Amino acid sequence: MNAEELEQIAESAKQESAQFDFQVNVCMGTGCLSQHSDKVKAALEKEAESSGKKCHVRRTGCMGLCAAGPMVLLSPSETRYGHVHEADAKDVIAALGQEPVTRLDPQLGTYFEGQKHVVLENSGHVDPEKIDEYIARSGYEALVKALTDMSPASVIEQISKSGLRGRGGGGYPTGLKWDTVAKVKGAQKYVICNGDEGDPGAFMDRSVLESDPQRVIEGMAIAAYAIGATKGYIYVRAEYPLAVQRLTVAIQQARRRGFLGNAICETTFSFDIDIRLGAGAFVCGEETALIASIEGKRGTPRPRPPYPAVSGLWGDPTLINNVETFANVAPIIRNGGEWFASMGTARSKGTKVFALTGKIRRTGLVEVPMGMTLRQIIFDIGGGVPDGRKFKAVQTGGPSGGCLPEEHLDLSISYDALISAGSMMGSGGMIVMDDTSCMVSVARFFMEFCMTESCGKCVPCRAGTVQMYELLSKICRGEATRRDLDHLTELCEVVGATSLCGLGQTAPNPVLSTLRYFKHEYLAHIDEKRCPAGVCAFSTHAAEVLA
Amino acid sequence: MPILAERPPLPSDDKRWRIVNGTMRKHGYSRNALIETLHTVQSSFGFLDEKAIRFVAQSLRVPLSQAYGVVTFYHFFSLKPPGRHTCTICLGTACYIRGSDKLVAETEKLLHVKAGQTTPDGEVSFTTARCVGACGRAPVVLLDGELSGQVETSELKAHLERWTTQ
C-alpha cells in the first residue's frame, strides 16, 4: 500500500457513493439502536427501493444528539431528522430533493453551532464496518504519510508540537509520553489503548469505538511506528458489546487492507492489534491495573515508578493512551501539529468530547474547542435545564471529579482551570443537576461507587472509603453532628494523600468540592435536620440527635 | 524441571466445553488467557461454577486460588446461574440523577429480592450495572440484555409483572 493505491481506494469508494443522488444516514449507535433504529433503516431501505430514487441508506455511528434518537442525517442537504420511526420512512424518502419533513425537525436549536468536530468528524458519516468509507474520508492518509515520509522522531515531534494531552483525564502531554517510551531500549514494546471507560456518566469512548473504530486503529499504528512497538492491545469494557463487535470487524478489515500485519505499506514496520475484554472493574482504568488485567490477573495497581513506559506489559516498555487520544493522532499527522495547536487555550490544545447528560434538555455527545465556557456548553448547546427547574451544579470528571456551582458557569474549559476550581477534566462526563438533587446524596453516591470499586490493595482507600461513606450516610439520615463533619474532612485529606493509585487519591474529590461550594447543604442536614432539596429521608433518630 | 500435569479432559461432552477449549487453544494455553477464557465460559454457560473454574485453572496451569481470585474480583463474572429473565438497572451518574434509585426500589418491592439476587422460582435475576454508557437515554434498564431508555417506573413495573405472572 502506498499513497497512490490509497487514493485509488478512496476514489473508487467515492465513485460508488456518487452513483446515488442522496445519502440517507441512519444512526446505529447504542442510544438510537435502543429505539429500534435498525428497523427504521430497514423501512427506509424498503421505501428507497420502491420509490425508484437513487438513494443509499447507510448504517452509521453516533450522530451526537441522543435525546432526539433515532436520528437520520441526509446528504448532500445536511438535513437532520430526529425521532424518526418506521412509519416516517415513506415521508423521509418522498421528501428527498424537496422541502424537508417539518414534523421530524429534531428542534436542534444551536446544538451543532459552536461545536468543532475533529474526533467525531466521521461519526454519523461513515459505516463503521466499511473500511473503504473511512479511506474515502482521508482515512489512513496519516499512517501512509508517517510510514513513507516521516521518521519516528518527526512523528513524535508533530505530536509534541500539537500540544495534545491525554484525554483519559490525567492530561499528561502525549508527545512527552511517546518520547519517553521511544527512548527506552527494549526488543519488544507494546501499545495499549485504554477503552475501559468506567466513569459512570461518560460514553465518549464507546461512541468513538462504535462509530469510527478505524480512527483508533490508525492512531495506534502511528503510535507503534513512533515508539517502535510491534504489538497492540485494545482494552474494552465487556459492557460495550457493540463496540467490541465493530472493533473486531474493523481490525479484520484493516488486516485485509494491509494496515495491520507484517510489512505495512511495504516498509519493515509490522504491527498487529488484539482486543482484550474488561470484566467490570473501575480500577482497571488505572494503567498499572489495566496491565495486570491484560496479563490475566486481578486488576490491582502497583506503585510507580517504574512507569509502564519503562516496565509495563510483561515487564516491557509500554505506551498507554486513551481512545480519544488515539483518535486525535491521525488528524494531527495529516494536518500538522501547528494546526491542532491553533485550537484551544494556551495549555489545553484542540477539542474535547463531552457526554452531556443529566437534567439537561439536549442530552448527547458534543465536541467543542477547549476554552469554551461551561455556560456555552450547557445552555447554548445543551439547551439548559428542562421543566422550568433551576440549574444547581454540573459534575465533571466522574468519581474523581467535582461539582461546580452556578458561579463557575463562566469558567472556560481547560485541564488547569477545572482543577483549580476543585474538579477535573476526567474523561469528559458532564452531568447537569437541577435543584431537585441533594448534593450530600450526590457525594454519597460517588463515595459508594469508590467504596465498591476499591480493589482493596491499600488500606487508606479500602478502609477510608467505607468510613467516608458511613459518615455521609449518617449526614443523609440526619444523625450526624459537626464533629462527624470534621472527621469527614480529615479523612478526605488522609485518603487523598496516602492512597496508592488515582482511585483512592481522588475519591475524596466529590466530597471536597461539594463541601467547598455547597457547605450550607451539609450544615442544613446537620444543624437543622433538613434536606434543602427534599431528597433525604431522615430517621426518627434524627430528632433525638438534635435534642 | 517440574513435572507438568497433563491437561484435563473436557468435563463432559457438552459442546460448549469445546468452545471454551477453543479460546484456550487460540491463546496457546497461555496463563494470560485466564480472563479471556472465563469470558467464554460465562458467555457459553451464563455463569461460572466450581467445575468450570477448576477446569480452566488446570488447563491453563494457573493456581486454583488465582483463578478463583480473578473470578470474584471482577463484577462481570457470576458464580450463580442467572434466572430465566434478567433485569439490569443502570446506576451510572446520569441514571442516578434521573431517578434510577426509584426504579431499583420498585423492582425490589415487586420481585421481593435485592439487587444481585434471583427470585426463588428462578424466573427473574435482578442486577444493577455501574454504567452501560447509554447516559444520553437515562435512566436505562436492560431487560434480557435489550436496552431501554428513559424508562418510567410504571413501564418497568408492567414489564416485570408480565414476567412474573407468566
- pLDDT tens per residue across span B38-75: 999 999 999 999 999 999 999 999 999 999 999 999 99
Q: What residues of chain A, 272 to 301, have a C-beta less than 8 Å from chain B? A: 276-282, 293-299
Element (H, E) at A368: strand A364-369
With beta carbons less than 8 A apart as the criterion, state whether A328 and A218 touch: no
Which sequence spans correspond to the domains of chain A?
15-104, 139-341, 351-434, 439-546
pLDDT at A193: 97
B149 in contact with chain A, both atoms CB, cutoff 8 A: yes
Decide if B35 and A276 are in contact by the 8 Å CB cutoff: yes
**Residue that is written with C-alpha cell 414534523 in the block:** A103
Cα–Cα dist B141/B148, whole Å: 5
Is it the case that residue A483 has pLDDT exceeding 70?
yes
Q: What are phi and psi of A392, to 5 degrees?
A: -115, -50
Cα–Cα dist A393/A377, whole Å: 13
Decide if B32 and A294 are in contact by the 8 Å CB cutoff: yes
Q: How confident is the model at residue A525 (pLDDT cuts 50, 70, 90)?
A: very high
B76 in contact with chain A, both atoms CB, cutoff 8 A: yes
Q: Which amino acid is at A300?
A: T
Cα–Cα dist B134/B142, whole Å: 11
**Residue that is written with C-alpha cell 421505501 in the block:** A47
Q: Output the CA–CA distances (angstroms, integers) from residue A295 to A203, A236, A287, B55, in the order listed.
A: 26, 14, 12, 19
Per-residue pLDDT tens over the stretch A20-56: 999 999 999 999 999 999 999 999 999 999 998 899 9
Closest CA to A117 of A275, A353, A304, A314: A353
With beta carbons less than 8 A apart as the criterion, state whether A114 and A363 touch: no
CATH 1.20.1440.230 fits A439-546, yes or no: yes
Task: Name every residue whose Cβ is closer than 8 Å to that of residue B26 and which is 6 or more positions away in sequence.
Answer: B33
Residue A201's CB is within 10 A of a number of other CB atoms, namely: 30
Q: Give chain A's mean pLDDT.
A: 94
With beta carbons less than 8 A apart as the criterion, state whether A510 and A399 touch: yes
Is it the case that residue B157 has pLDDT exceeding 70?
yes
Q: Of the CATH numbers 3.40.30.10, 3.50.50.60, 3.30.2310.20, 3.40.640.10, which one belongs to the domain with range B85-164?
A: 3.40.30.10
Angle at A320 between CA A193 and CA A2, to 5 degrees: 60
Mean pLDDT score, A55-80: 91
Q: How confident is the model at residue B166 (pLDDT cuts 50, 70, 90)?
A: low
Identify the bridge partners of residue A274 per DSSP, sorted by sequence position: A233
Question: Terminus-to-terminus CA distance in chain A, angstroms?
Answer: 80
User: Chain A partners of B40 at a C-beta cutoff of 8 Å?
Assistant: none
Q: What are phi and psi of B75, to 5 degrees?
A: -65, -25
pLDDT at A105: 81
User: Chain B partners of A69 at a C-beta cutoff of 8 Å?
Assistant: 136-137
Q: Of the CATH numbers 1.10.630.10, 3.30.300.30, 3.40.30.10, 2.20.70.10, which one belongs to the domain with range A15-104?
A: 3.40.30.10
Cα–Cα dist A398/A502, whole Å: 12
Per-residue pLDDT tens over the stretch A226-268: 999 999 999 999 999 999 999 999 999 999 999 999 999 999 9
Per-residue pLDDT tens over the stretch A266-319: 999 999 999 999 998 999 999 999 999 999 999 999 999 999 999 999 999 999
Distance from CA of A525 to the nearest CA of B (A): 20
From the list B97, B98, B134, the residue facing A31 with the nearest CB is: B134
A509 in contact with chain B, both atoms CB, cutoff 8 A: no
Q: What are phi and psi of B143, to 5 degrees?
A: -105, 115
User: Chain B partners of A239 at a C-beta cutoff of 8 Å?
Assistant: 76, 129-133
Share of chain A above pLDDT 70, in %: 98
- At the topology level of CATH, where does A139-341 sit? Rossmann fold (3.40.50)
With beta carbons less than 8 A apart as the criterion, state whether A529 and A536 touch: no
Q: Of the CATH numbers 3.30.450.20, 1.10.357.10, 3.10.20.600, 1.20.120.720, which one belongs to the domain with range A351-434?
A: 3.10.20.600
Measured N-to-C along each axis, helices A323-335 and A204-211 cross at an angle, to the nearest 10 degrees, of 60
Cα–Cα dist A207/A64, whole Å: 9
User: Chain B partners of A355 at a C-beta cutoff of 8 Å?
Assistant: 135-136
Element (H, E) at A463: helix A459-477
Decide if A277 and B129 are in contact by the 8 Å CB cutoff: no
Cα–Cα dist A130/A207, whole Å: 17
A36 in contact with chain B, both atoms CB, cutoff 8 A: no
Grid cell in block for residue A322: 486513551
Q: Which of B135, B148, B150, B151 to mutate to test the interface with A (most CBs of A within 10 A)?
A: B135
Q: How confident is the model at residue A114 (pLDDT cuts 50, 70, 90)?
A: confident
Scanning every residue of chain A, which has its alpha carbon at the shortest distance from the alpha carbon of B101? Answer: A445
pLDDT at B5: 63
Q: Is the peptide bond before A306 cis (omega within 30 degrees of 0)?
A: yes
Q: Which residues of A401-422 are buried (b: 16+ CB within 10 A; e: fewer)?
A: bbbbbeebbebebbbebbeebb
With beta carbons less than 8 A apart as the criterion, state whether A55 and A12 touch: no
ipTM score for this prediction: 0.92
From the list A199, A279, A363, the residue facing B136 with the nearest CB is: A363
CB-side neighbour CA atoms (13 Å) of A57? 22
Q: How confident is the model at residue A545 (pLDDT cuts 50, 70, 90)?
A: low
Closest CA to A205 of A175, A231, A239: A239
Q: How confident is the model at residue A180 (pLDDT cuts 50, 70, 90)?
A: very high
**What is the arrangement of strands in the sheet containing A351-358, beginning at the earlier edge strand?**
A364-369, A351-358, A429-434, A391-396, A402-405
Decide if A363 and B138 are in contact by the 8 Å CB cutoff: yes
Per-residue pLDDT tens over the stretch A364-417: 999 999 999 999 999 999 999 999 999 999 999 989 999 999 999 999 999 999
Decide if B149 and A35 are in contact by the 8 Å CB cutoff: yes
Which sequence spans correspond to the domains of chain B?
15-73, 85-164
With beta carbons less than 8 A apart as the criterion, state whether B10 and B21 touch: yes
With beta carbons less than 8 A apart as the criterion, state whether A282 and A503 touch: yes
Q: How far is CA A247 from the centre of its chain?
A: 16
DSSP secondary structure code for residue A164 in this structure: -
Is it the case that residue B165 has pLDDT exceeding 70?
yes
